[in-house]
Structure 1
């Protein structure tokens, strides 16, 4: 099989295309014939982590993907050969990511993909959609799960509504019944956030942004999905409601943040960091189940018309795909491993 590998951390030049034997799944594992591999910021950051030991002498990158179950290991009874699946955290503490024609992964990381959902959509879920799910389910008063109506009456602010996580957060929040306000940095991104379903879209930078949000949400916003906590912590405290939650999942704009102590504790603000790699199996399982339900309901489409343009690369172009994500490409970066969605 063809696979992308690296044996030392570094820039994208360390990635190479090689031929390897098709691996066999062990107990509790499945082998998936990969159709599409998804690239996230964590993928290039893991590859570039100079000074950190690799999990194996040779690593295949990329956490997310979609394809067809090709072989099943002992003890796996909920998946069968021929099942279409979407994949999350394939390469977490393992060397077997999705940038290969075949990948062996823990069975819990392969989730049935609804009929009619493309492999491109499946490979776009994983880290972005599950992070968005977590951000929307850490409020002090729940809900812990997302279903239609679960966020009825809530106002959700999505900071950076044109990114992959922001896109999924808009779609999931609207599906769950929330009113969604998104912030974006350009007219193009405003169109994407509206296509995703945001009810209100505001532009930044803008000295009047907090006033604009408060005009839409006089009692404050209940949930904030935050991509740039270092830049936005002060604004978040200004606009959040009493007992509101701020779910922050990235360090865009800086690696530290400060906030007004009295203003935030007076509102009983919940600051919730989010990292799928350490969130625990219970939270991952809940997110996977709810995201799959949303896909089955048709509420997580991708593509430019749905607000998330797809940037497609071939397996041979994996280094360029990693560079595109590192460079801040708008939309979702995908690697088409197979020739067709079959």
Structure 2
């Protein structure tokens, strides 16, 4: 089988395609023939050394993918050969990710992919959708699970509504009944956030964001899904409701934040930091189940019609795919790994 590997940190040139024998699944594991793989910012950041030294002598990148189970190890139940599945955290604490034709993963990291959902959708779920689910389910006065009606009467502000996590947050919050306000930086991105399901879109380059959000939500927003705290946190505090939550999942725009203690006290709000790799198994399973329910309801999709343009690369061009993500490609970058 073909696999993409790297053995040292560096730019995308350290990636190479190799041929190797497919591994056999051990106890509690399954092997998935990957049809489509997702590329996320964490993939190039790990490869570039931004997350520290390499954890293994050789690494196959890729946390997310979708395909078909082609082998099952001992002590596995609920999953059978031939099942269509999507994966999450495939490479976490393991050397083998989804940028290869066959990957062995713990059974708890695969979830059934409904027949109505494409492999493109399945490969786009793991990091973005699970992160979005976690951000939406940590509020004091909000739900810990998502389903139709779970967020009725809530208003959610999604910063960066044209990004992959922002897109997922919009779709999941809309499915759960929330009123969704998204911020964007251009008319083109406004169109994408609207296609994802945002009720209101604010271009932060065309006026006062706080004034615009307060005009849409005079009583404040219940939850902020935040991608750029260094730039936005002071504004978030001015629009958040008492006991609201600001869920922070990235550091776009800088690493340092300065807050006024008095100003922050007055909100009675919580800051929820969201790092997918340490959220815990129960939260991951809840997210996988709820996201799959949204798929079955036809409430989650990818592509232009859903506000997330797709960019396909063959496995041999994984380096180009990594570079595209690193350069800020708008939409979702996918690897075409094997035939459907």
- TM-score grouping bracket, smaller chain normalisation: over 0.9
TM-score of the aligned structures, taking structure 1 as reference length: 0.98
Q: What residue number does 2:142 align with?
A: 142
Deviation, 1:56, is 2.0
Matches of 2:296 and 2:85 in 1, distance apart? 13
Cα drift, residue 256 of structure 1: 1.4
Q: CA shift at 1:251, angstroms?
A: 0.6
Q: Is residue 204 from structure 1 mapped to residue 207 from structure 2 by the alignment? A: no
Query: Partner of 2:184 in structure 1?
Result: 184
Instruction: Report the Cα distance in structure 2 between the residues aligned to 1:325 and 1:258, rounded to whole angstroms.
Output: 29
Partner Cα distance (2:143, 2:255) in 1? 29
1:308 aligns with 2:291: no
SS in 1 for 2:167: helix
- Look up the SS of the partner of 1:250 in the other structure: coil
Is the 1:10–1:50 contact (alpha carbons within 8 Å) kept by the matching residues of 2? Answer: no
Alpha-carbon offset, residue 32 of structure 1: 0.2
Match of 2:114? 114
Tell me the SS of whatever aligns to 1:53: coil
Provide the residue aligned with 2:46 in structure 1: 46
Whole-angstrom CA distance in 2 between matches of 1:228 and 1:334: 24
TM-score, normalising length: structure 2 = 0.98
Is the CA contact (8 Å cut-off) linking 1:174 and 1:198 kept in structure 2? yes
The question of 1:260 aligning with 2:272 is answered no
Q: Within the alignment, does 1:269 sit opposite 2:269 as a pair?
A: yes
Q: Distance in 1 between matches of 2:203 and 2:50?
A: 36
Is the 2:45–2:51 Cα contact (8 Å) retained in structure 1?
no
The 2-side partners of 1:128 and 1:232 are apart by 20
Distance in 2 (alpha carbons) for counterparts of 1:204 and 1:154: 22
What CA distance in whole angstroms lies between the structure 2 residues aligned with 1:236 and 1:56? Answer: 40
Query: What secondary structure, in the 3-state scheme, does the structure 2 residue paired with 1:218 have?
Result: coil
The alpha-carbon deviation at position 55 of structure 1 amounts to 2.5
Structure 1 Cα separation of the partners of residues 257 and 74 of structure 2? 47
Give the corresponding residue for 1:241. Answer: 241
Matched, 1:92 2:82: no
- 1:214-265 CA deviation, whole Å, 9 max, x = no partner? 0101110001000001100010001111111000100100011122322221
What stretches of structure 2 of length at least 5 have no aligned partner? none
Task: Summarize the Cα distance change of 1:218–1:111 in structure 2 as closer, same or farther, 3 Å threshold.
Answer: same
Give the 5 Å matches for 1:1-342.
1-49=1-49, 52-339=52-339, 341=340
CA distance in 1, matches of 2:73, 2:29: 5
Using the TM superposition, give the Cα deviation of residue 318 of structure 1 relative to its aligned residue in structure 2, in angstroms. Answer: 0.2
Q: Distance in 2 between matches of 1:305 and 1:190?
A: 13
Contact 1:237-1:259 at 8 Å conserved across structures = no
Deviations 1:100-158 (A, max 9, x none): 00001111111000111000000000010000001110101231000100000000000
Secondary structure at the residue paired with 2:238? Answer: helix
Name whichever of 203-212 and 263-272 sits farther off. 203-212
Matched residue SS, 1:222:
strand
In structure 1, how many angstroms separate the alpha carbons of the residues matched to 2:232 and 2:40? 22
Secondary structure of the corresponding residue to residue 317 of structure 1? helix
Instruction: Show CA shifts across 1:186-225 (max 9, x none).
Output: 1110000000010000101244111000010111000100
Q: Output the CA distance in 2 between the equivalents of 1:26 and 1:51.
A: 28
**Unpaired segments of 5 or more residues in structure 1?**
none
Does the aligned pair in 1 maintain the 2:131–2:249 contact within 8 Å?
yes
Partners of 2:50 and 2:240 in 1: CA distance: 38
Deviation at 1:53, TM superposition (A): 3.1
Q: Is the 8 A contact 1:36 1:65 kept in 2?
A: yes
In the alignment of these two chains, the number of paired residues is 340
Query: Cα RMSD (Å) of the superposition?
Result: 1.0
Partners of 2:101 and 2:212 in 1: how far apart?
A: 48
